[in-house]
Structure 1
């Protein structure tokens, strides 16, 4: 019987595997070392976990393959075919800079060099009318040139194609005829929206990662099938859903940022189970921290994101802020003599000073070891920590230069790191119109539970939730998602003159495309949910806000009223007398995937004894602190800080003044103030 659900999250150091049994609802985890070819690590982890793939009903995977390809630029040769006269759109960009005040810092070069950006005569006007059909002979010559050059993928980006993709489709057919095995991405299919740079850039990113991602998903699917897996491989995308390899062929760039979305999904789900529909996810690993926000049970979604500045990827994505703060982040002194923390990192090797691999600079891990918050080993004894080396690094790197005691210096290192993470939380909450005091903080990742309460106190967040397996929570997120596709279409009209029937007709066309795609992926009609929204703005603005739209549409006045409310929440002001414009229609198409429920535990009344005690420093004072083994903590067990909870994939710190309790799902709920 196929009763197992398996999720895999591949990281730079470890590959995390999460296995849920549908019969018992119990979850177990496995960690194995990542390999040069991620597929070898995945299959090795499956074997190590003793998984019989013939018993697996669902195999879900969050992958960094697309992201890594864009970051490292180890990309196949790709070409762009565009309208004559618009060869340099993706290089001109918006002429903006990541750092406004640094005139010497240039934006990185485009993914496709100029020599591989070719043009053809064709023209569509601003209303979508074809005023110059595609020059077929010129198109065939371009196809001949690209075939001779041996390109691995092609992006077709014509002006105004978002309104009428007729010429793009004709160009695609000619390219496929000449090069049947080369993937072709056309902007009218990938992103039918106004703003040519964003549309061109997204289409180029989609084309350029397509050969890499398709090869990866095909090989992984074949390896799984050879070992007995009989279902579709499901791949997590940035929008918070999963897609099959069939959809990956057309929308490969949706997998860029796949891994970080999984953590956001898991933190949102765990918080909701605990009764907190408003939550902030704090995913702290060895090098970076990812911060996400969910409001009323829904993750914030953005289209303003990129892997490299200047080259946007405008697919809907769960909003996640990433900063360089992790266990391996280095403490250093800037030219002004101030203590800093990150984004430089000791990485997996040589790692923190306490690893004993020759790094002399102090890291957050070294500070935690010096303060007694971390013990002498990680990952169940696989990584041994040397407290003497940690203390020496803190003393030489911070204590002596600043004239501090070693524990005072270690505390300062962590306070700077916590301040950096708190600033990231402020950016995703306060700057978006949300009050952190109305949220719970879900602390996970290998180091999140070490810092969670300190960050919560900085922001007056009342509750911190630590999942049962913090280090593999991102992998768990892959088990908690549905099939999902996001569609959009430009709709630039004033609300005062908008025709509800015309907008309804546009939505109907998008919905039919969504239904066709989900049906092709094997989703039954009764499991399909369609969610509409309309991007709106005050006339003259260029930034828009999404407003939920009913089905059928209903009165335009109701949409405008909802927009005013949303604008008030987001920006703290509204202009009820100002005219409102529609900008874009959005559709989220969800195919519900059956999910096994989390196991529910009953209180045992047992109060486990600590496995050890050690002095741990808080605010300059040493406390004799009990150390508990996480696997010994039963449902209903409550305790006051200070306390340390250790497990194979994380360490949780409950500082003085906080109270913790283990809930029925075995989450640790920490009340920041007793």
Structure 2
């Protein structure tokens, strides 16, 4: 019996399933309608629809939106926080900043745990870790009894300065477990042992509110898969770009927030490396939004400054993904100043674009592309039929009439505004971070990424666009390409000029022992473990740090300092060699390698591709006779010139005039924006 690997990516409209044959590397895909009331049901429907024999599955990987949706919708169980006396309002005071500085009427969302459920305990640890006031155990037990009566489902314990000494937090957890043994408890000294109390408290709070929701979902899905014959661990993709087993999900549930968008970033980096482009920009355009990610020298850009709701940071390391409201269903509209806008408002999956025939009469990007001939009359292999007349009416009424444009000028204006918005998002993640887009390839995927990718690349002078074999399910493919991964960090605040290599080596060694223990608990063999070190540093007096890779054995602190100067120059275009450098934090990325099947590679036979038909397609308000190709008929080595349209089950690729394209050995389409 052929062994297979299965990856599932749950989206707002569709749940994508990617099935890979281990021996041949062949991939087949399946799409099924998502079930927002219970995402698990869509997964089970897809398994049945794809006729997957779970007993033959050797790996089942899943990117989930369960944690993200729980935080966004606030459909979370009653959760409590226990804080040091006098500090119950840290998560509500926050940093006293706002997302929109000039909007005096817009308030930051309320904390996930309301004030009535944020209780306090008498204890205090000094900044150097000395216990100034031991935990008042009698008072702690009274607090635990109150929470038991309130029937809370989860508890977060966040004490001051516990990042240097977590003894009081651990004792509080013991008391809670004694009185409420079934209730999960998150303590900040283990969830996020770092300075800055708001960020530590906020991360622990998010972890605590997610725990009951995520653990319940993972348990139910794991049981259903086991009933079907699956005998391995269910692997859950987390925001850092790795996977966790259910054993770790119980302790670090908030790591699954942002799980869904990380899969696309992982896949785009893999595809870029496969095609010989270690510098790549992921461009994932779907129905309502576009996710932009960046990989440099083959590695994704990682951030710890992210959140699901503004004001409540989740400081687990995460692949940096910038999301904007630009997708196939984004609505065109006229602002108060009379300018044409596009998004972030969206027609969504329902009613969808006007051409979906569900009653929407406002033009969307999809309608504009239909009018321009860039989209045909059906999507998803004929599951969705498009009405060109309704698309024409929407573009005419929304833009052409109000702006006194011709029909095709109006449609191109809609697409141009959308492309400009997305190009600006790429600039924010590249140029503003010190990267030149001209040194990168653009990996265009998602349902609409290949439709707009070439135009966005041309605006940014990106020379190459890569379109994967199955753009619409590339995010699901990302779930097949990951390893078990955990991130460990610890505060290590000192001056780089006074610390010795031996001190740093001892701190790393202690943390590596924890990493090995965690991976062993996940069932990873020692020979499959990889431990990657890094040090976060800053110029003395600053509070924002930069991460620098560290060697497997620290022999010279000055080498680390030089690496910091170089990284600071790349990021901010200046360095201060004479300034003292401070070390802020040390970190380890612990990777448990998961065996992966190779992607199928085909023999290149250069030839000119033959179109299956031709149709009128508008570019720059001029009608062109564009060649139409079917993706499944394009073989490795095929080449063609724009204007051209490539149609397939899950996406449509546009090659504008003046550009050329070829199919590589891995069946990716490589578009040269310079012809």
TM-score, normalised relative to structure 2: 0.99
* Aligned structure 1 segments of 4 or more residues deviating by more than 6 angstroms: none
Describe the SS at the equivalent of 1:402.
coil
Match of 1:134 in 2: 135
Match of 2:672 in 1: 671
Describe the SS at the equivalent of 2:86.
coil
1:26-425 to 2 correspondences below 5 Å: 26-35=26-35, 36-425=37-426
Deviation digits for residues 591-614 of structure 1 (CA, Å, limit 9, x no counterpart): 011100000111356655322211
Checking the alignment, whether the CA contact within 8 Å between 1:15 and 1:34 is kept in structure 2 is: yes
- Structure 2 residues not aligned, in runs of 5+: none
Q: CA deviation at 1:500?
A: 2.0
Deviation digits for residues 58-87 of structure 1 (CA, Å, limit 9, x no counterpart): 000000000000000001000000101101
Match of 1:13 in 2: 13
Match of 2:470 in 1: 469
Give, in whole Å, the separation in 2 of the partners of 1:184 and 1:275.
46
Describe the SS at the equivalent of 1:496.
coil
Q: CA deviation at 1:48?
A: 1.0
Match of 1:433 in 2: 434
Checking the alignment, whether the CA contact within 8 Å between 2:609 and 2:640 is kept in structure 1 is: no
Task: Give me the CA root mean square deviation.
Answer: 0.8
Give, in whole Å, the separation in 2 of the partners of 1:492 and 1:104.
39
Give, in whole Å, the separation in 2 of the partners of 1:130 and 1:500.
29
Give, in whole Å, the separation in 2 of the partners of 1:148 and 1:580.
51
Q: CA deviation at 1:102?
A: 1.3
1:544 matched to 2:545: yes
Q: CA deviation at 1:52?
A: 0.4
Checking the alignment, whether the CA contact within 8 Å between 1:2 and 1:54 is kept in structure 2 is: no
Deviation digits for residues 243-265 of structure 1 (CA, Å, limit 9, x no counterpart): 00000000000000001000000
Give, in whole Å, the separation in 1 of the partners of 2:604 and 2:165.
62
Q: CA deviation at 1:2?
A: 6.5
- Higher mean alpha-carbon deviation, 609-618 vs 360-369, is at 609-618
Give, in whole Å, the separation in 1 of the partners of 2:672 and 2:610.
21
Checking the alignment, whether the CA contact within 8 Å between 2:529 and 2:591 is kept in structure 1 is: yes
Match of 2:535 in 1: 534
Cα distance change, pair 504–163 in 1 and its aligned pair in 2 (3 A): same
Match of 1:22 in 2: 22
Describe the SS at the equivalent of 1:401.
coil
Q: How many residues align?
A: 674
Give, in whole Å, the separation in 1 of the partners of 2:417 and 2:529.
47
Describe the SS at the equivalent of 1:541.
coil
Describe the SS at the equivalent of 1:431.
helix
Checking the alignment, whether the CA contact within 8 Å between 1:2 and 1:57 is kept in structure 2 is: no
Give, in whole Å, the separation in 2 of the partners of 1:93 and 1:172.
25
- Higher mean alpha-carbon deviation, 469-478 vs 516-525, is at 516-525
1:631 matched to 2:646: no
Give, in whole Å, the separation in 2 of the partners of 1:664 and 1:412.
36
Q: CA deviation at 1:646?
A: 0.6
Deviation digits for residues 34-69 of structure 1 (CA, Å, limit 9, x no counterpart): 113111110111111111011011000000000000
Give, in whole Å, the separation in 1 of the partners of 2:506 and 2:670.
48
TM-score, normalised relative to structure 1: 0.99
Describe the SS at the equivalent of 2:423.
helix
Checking the alignment, whether the CA contact within 8 Å between 1:120 and 1:139 is kept in structure 2 is: yes
Give, in whole Å, the separation in 1 of the partners of 2:566 and 2:609.
50
Cα distance change, pair 521–2 in 1 and its aligned pair in 2 (3 A): farther
Q: CA deviation at 1:626?
A: 1.5
Checking the alignment, whether the CA contact within 8 Å between 1:90 and 1:200 is kept in structure 2 is: yes
Describe the SS at the equivalent of 2:170.
helix
